[in-house]
Amino acid sequence: MIIPKYHLDGKNDILVKTDAVSSIFGDSFRKSLTLDIEECEMETFRKHERTGRPLGDVNFIEKMEVLLDIKLKTQKPGPKKIIK
């Protein structure tokens, strides 16, 4: 995994704004990258990375659906019926 130097240094530039990372991690962003993560947790991250679906609880997903006006919850697979 490649971590941009900007996030480690906490410096903004024209493309990167580190405020969001700083508000979540504070000064511990660099330290959080070295934490041990259980294999089951890593598989959860990998699953969401592959599917592109957000990782969060139901309330978070529902809030993002409202804010983004898109469906994020897992839908029934296959072609969708067109309602006329």
What pLDDT, in 10s, does the model give residues 39-49? 888 888 888 88
Its pTM stands at 0.47
Q: Within 10 A of 37 (CB to CB), how many other CB atoms are there?
A: 9
Query: Has residue 3 got a pLDDT over 60?
Result: no
What pLDDT, in 10s, does the model give residues 15-62? 777 677 677 777 666 677 777 888 888 888 888 888 888 888 889 899
Residue 20: both structure tokens together: 């969001």
**Structure-token match 């089951």, residue found:** 40
The residue-averaged pLDDT of 66-74 equals: 89
For the chain, what is the radius of gyration of the CA atoms?
A: 17
Which distant-in-sequence residues (6+ apart) come within 8 Å of 10 by Cβ? Answer: 18, 21, 22, 29
Query: Has residue 1 got a pLDDT over 60?
Result: no
